[in-house]
Amino acid sequence: MKKIGLKDLGICAVAAFSIVLTSCGGSSGGGDKEIEFEQKDLVNKLWYSNPYLSKDYDNEDAVIAYRFESGGMLKRQQYSGKRDENVGTWSLIDDVLEIVDNSITQKWFIQSGSTTGFLKLNSSAGRREFRTTIEGLGDVTADAYIVSDLRLVDNVFKADYRVDYEVTGSDIEEVVAMQSSSKQEELIESVNYINKKIFVLSDDGLNRYYDDFWGAQKIRFYLKTKANEKFKLDEDLYVDRLESLDNTKIQISKSPGSPTVTVQWKAIAKDDVRYNVEILSSISNTKLPLFRSNLQPATSGEMKTLEISQSIGAIIPLDINKMDIGENYFIRITGIQYEEGIDPINSLNRSYNIQAKTVFTSKITW
């Protein structure tokens, strides 16, 4: 996953500034109060704008999130991954607020009716409204990443590429992931292992592969909330991809009737990849794994072994009472590369800052 595409809106700089704002009095009495707008009224908060125009992929109308830092640094949040990045500078001189976003400068005039939580802006580029809260998007995350999927096709292992998505948000009721104006996937609602609402590819979508990886690409998410609010979020797929796991170095061992499974694999030639191993009842986004290991660190080319049992610590522990002897299940090994700067263990936003995956799936009989 990556950038939320906030600079593409042609608003990347600032405007001349009316410095008198109005704040409304409470219900207990009083009235509008004029305040002198200062730098302190801008800093240490996120300012959101939703310039949504339509569902059209070609419109540059993704959500904007700016953070004005003390000292003049301008940050923009990659909203999908809740990550801030430095994009330029800002200044407030006399009546002019100037924003420099990725070397593009513009000036915006603050209009009457603005408060310290709501900015109504005018400039030669048009109008824009910013708020310190954005209804319906508070807990939204969105991720897109390239998957190298090694699977058995006509008794021959074949590695193909596909794009995978995951969007969360308690108020979201519709999600469409768009690779272009003609290539779009409506995601289906499901829940994850902590019973949180997620939107993922359908089973048919999981089987849409590409013969080769085409390189970096902008993904756009269209979101509609329960209140019929509409948004777009932008996400960039990286140029980098992960190589396939070596199926000749993978061994999955289970004795008939045994409650344990031993999985061995060789890490790919990359040091910053973590691995997990899962047991699945079916290859589907709508069914939860029966087991998911903790993340397994590995050095480049290292041979790894994991013995799965009911007693080992895991993200989703194995319950042998749910396993039926003689039934077929799937073992899935997944290598995960996270975004630059994301700690696979300590970063709270790691689950929606994935850069790429490499996946191997094999059937076993319990």
Taking CA atoms, 121 is separated from 16, 39, 346, in Å, by 9, 16, 39
Predicted model pTM: 0.84
Average of pLDDT values for 30-34? 37
Give the residue from 187, 217, 237 where a domain finishes. Answer: 237
Q: What is the percentage of the chain residues whose pLDDT exceeds 90?
A: 56
Same domain flag for 262 and 197: no
Of 186 and 153, the structure prediction assigns the larger pLDDT to 186
Of 293 and 15, the structure prediction assigns the larger pLDDT to 293
Within a domain: residue 153? Answer: no
Average of pLDDT values for 289-312? 97
Evaluate if residue 9 carries a pLDDT over 60.
no
Residue 245 DSSP one-character state:
P
Evaluate if residue 266 carries a pLDDT over 90.
yes
Same domain flag for 24 and 126: yes
Mean pLDDT of the chain: 85
Most confident of 3-17, 44-58, 102-116: 44-58
Same domain flag for 219 and 251: no
- For residue 59, the model assigns a pLDDT of 94
Same domain flag for 270 and 333: yes
- The 3 state secondary structure assigned to 180-224 is CCCCEEECEEEECCCCCEEEECCHHHHCCCECCCCCCEEEEEEEE
Same domain flag for 178 and 213: yes
Same domain flag for 210 and 264: no
Same domain flag for 320 and 355: yes
Within a domain: residue 4? Answer: no
Q: What is the CATH number of the domain that holds 41?
A: 2.40.128
8 A C-beta contact, residue 74 and residue 99: yes
Within a domain: residue 2? Answer: no
- Count structural domains, the chain: 3
Average of pLDDT values for 90-102? 80
Same domain flag for 229 and 252: no
Evaluate if residue 2 carries a pLDDT over 70.
no
Of 349 and 169, the structure prediction assigns the larger pLDDT to 169
- For residue 19, the model assigns a pLDDT of 34
Within a domain: residue 6? Answer: no
- For residue 212, the model assigns a pLDDT of 66
Average of pLDDT values for 4-23? 35
Of 310 and 137, the structure prediction assigns the larger pLDDT to 310
Report the distance separating Cα 215 and Cα 243, nearest Å: 14
Same domain flag for 174 and 256: no
Within a domain: residue 136? Answer: no
- For residue 273, the model assigns a pLDDT of 96
Q: What is the percentage of the chain residues whose pLDDT exceeds 70?
A: 88
Within a domain: residue 25? Answer: yes
- Kindly tell me the burial class for residue 316, based on how many C-beta atoms sit within 10 Å of its own C-beta (0-12, 13-18, 19 or more): middle
Question: Which residues make Cβ contacts (< 8 Å) with residue 81, sequence separation at least 6?
Answer: 1, 2, 4, 141, 143, 339, 349, 352, 353
Tell me the pLDDT band of 213, cut-offs 50, 70 and 90. low
Same domain flag for 35 and 76: yes
Average of pLDDT values for 270-280? 96
Evaluate if residue 305 carries a pLDDT over 90.
yes
Evaluate if residue 32 carries a pLDDT over 70.
no
Same domain flag for 334 and 263: yes
Evaluate if residue 171 carries a pLDDT over 70.
yes
Average of pLDDT values for 254-272? 93
Tell me the pLDDT band of 95, cut-offs 50, 70 and 90. low
Within a domain: residue 30? Answer: yes
Q: What is the CATH number of the domain that holds 260?
A: 2.60.40.10
8 A C-beta contact, residue 84 and residue 93: no
Average of pLDDT values for 175-195? 94
Q: What is the CATH number of the domain that holds 207?
A: 2.60.40
User: Considering only 35-39, 127-131, 181-185, which range has the smallest mean pLDDT?
Assistant: 35-39
Q: Which domain holds residue 218?
A: 141-145+159-237
Average of pLDDT values for 73-81? 86
Of 5 and 175, the structure prediction assigns the larger pLDDT to 175
- For residue 51, the model assigns a pLDDT of 93
Evaluate if residue 13 carries a pLDDT over 60.
no
Same domain flag for 52 and 87: yes
- For residue 5, the model assigns a pLDDT of 38
Within a domain: residue 152? Answer: no
- For residue 255, the model assigns a pLDDT of 87
